[in-house]
Amino acid sequence: MKTERLLAVFAVGAFSAACAFFQGYPAKSVQVIEPFGAGSGVDVVTRAVTGKLSEVLGQPVTVENHAGAGGTVGPALVAKSPPDGYTLLANSSAHTYGAELLTNHAYDPLKDFIPIAPLAKQPFVLVVGKSAGVKTVGELIAAAKAKPGEFKFSSAGVGTATHLGVEKFNLETGIKAIHVPLTPTQAITDTIAGRITYWMSPISLALPQIREGRLMGLGVSSAQRSSILPEVPTLGEAGVSGFDFTIWYGIWAPVGTPARVVNKLAKSVARAVAEPDVRERLAKNGADPMSMTQTEFVHFVATEHESAARVIRAAGIKPR
């Protein structure tokens, strides 16, 4: 009996100590791991927020780049980290696609992480070169349908957002075309040269070429026009009713992170994103801030996964 009472006392003491520990969270710096490298969309958006997040939390929040293996190195590190709120993952909507595309990896994008909070979203712009001979979305659709399987579109790689965005566009418009994965820079070059007919480019990448008249922006992929490319209609306005596909960014924690810590992080990130100077930094990069409760973000991530899964299956994209 004495042993049982001692174990009970120790258990209560450990629980109380844990509660006290997490009530004082954070007591040290917080590390945010970003999986695509310096200068990537995830990196730029995350750094726009973490400076203010440091002020909100009262502790340094650092961003570390762990790129490699198609953006899977960083998440694998976070999945194996202690679930204490001191190692977090910043990622894009590609994290949700991974549940359908990744096999034999060290982590499960859905089961091994808790969605904390969204950061921002960015639309793509559907672009063509002058040699494509089309000036509107309707003309592109008509031309592609007149030559099924002959037009080529590009992306940054199989299963990336730039790939799924075009596949969604093709499925909704009935286009049959050939996918040619390229680096973003090469995709721009080949579209201008006419070797690629069309693709959905990050706006910031295509903007200089659109301004110079070397590329034509036919439509942006979001439900609203872009603040940095307001003259280009949305794809919905251009005739693809209801089209809405953006790349979005958020923060995740390892599964098992205490609810008290999750809630504090979610509210703190939301406060940081709402600050005017943060919103201004995001806007300069063509990103629109996102605001959701943690529960709403969990639902959003699940919905985005289901939507991406439908496109992946319909387009016949095979897991890797």
Query: In this predicted model, what pLDDT tens digit does every residue of 114-129 receive, in sequence order?
Result: 999 999 999 999 999 9
Residues in the chain: 320
Which is more confident, 148 or 183? 148
Query: In this predicted model, what pLDDT tens digit does every residue of 274-284 receive, in sequence order?
Result: 999 999 999 98
**Annotated domain spans of the chain:** 18-121+248-315, 123-220
Highest-scoring range by mean pLDDT, 21-35, 97-111, 279-293: 279-293
In the chain, what is the greatest distance between 2 CA atoms, to the nearest angstrom? 87
Mean of pLDDT over the chain: 90
Domain 18-121+248-315 has CATH 3.40.190.150: yes
Q: Mean pLDDT over residues 92-104, rounded?
A: 84
Q: Is the pTM of this model over 0.95?
A: no
Under 8 Å between Cβ of 297 and 129 = no
What is the model's pLDDT at position 105?
Answer: 76
Looking at the domain 123-220, which fold is it? D-Maltodextrin-Binding Protein; domain 2 (3.40.190)
What would the two tokens of residue 313 be? 């299956």
Ranking 189-193, 215-219, 283-287 by mean pLDDT, the lowest is: 283-287
Distance CA(23)–CA(306), nearest Å, equals: 35
What is the model's pLDDT at position 14?
Answer: 34
What is the model's pLDDT at position 205?
Answer: 87
Query: In this predicted model, what pLDDT tens digit does every residue of 136-172 receive, in sequence order?
Result: 999 999 999 999 999 999 998 888 899 999 999 999 9
Which is more confident, 17 or 50? 50
Distance CA(88)–CA(178), nearest Å, equals: 38
Q: Do domains 18-121+248-315 and 123-220 have the same CATH topology?
A: yes
What is the model's pLDDT at position 37?
Answer: 87
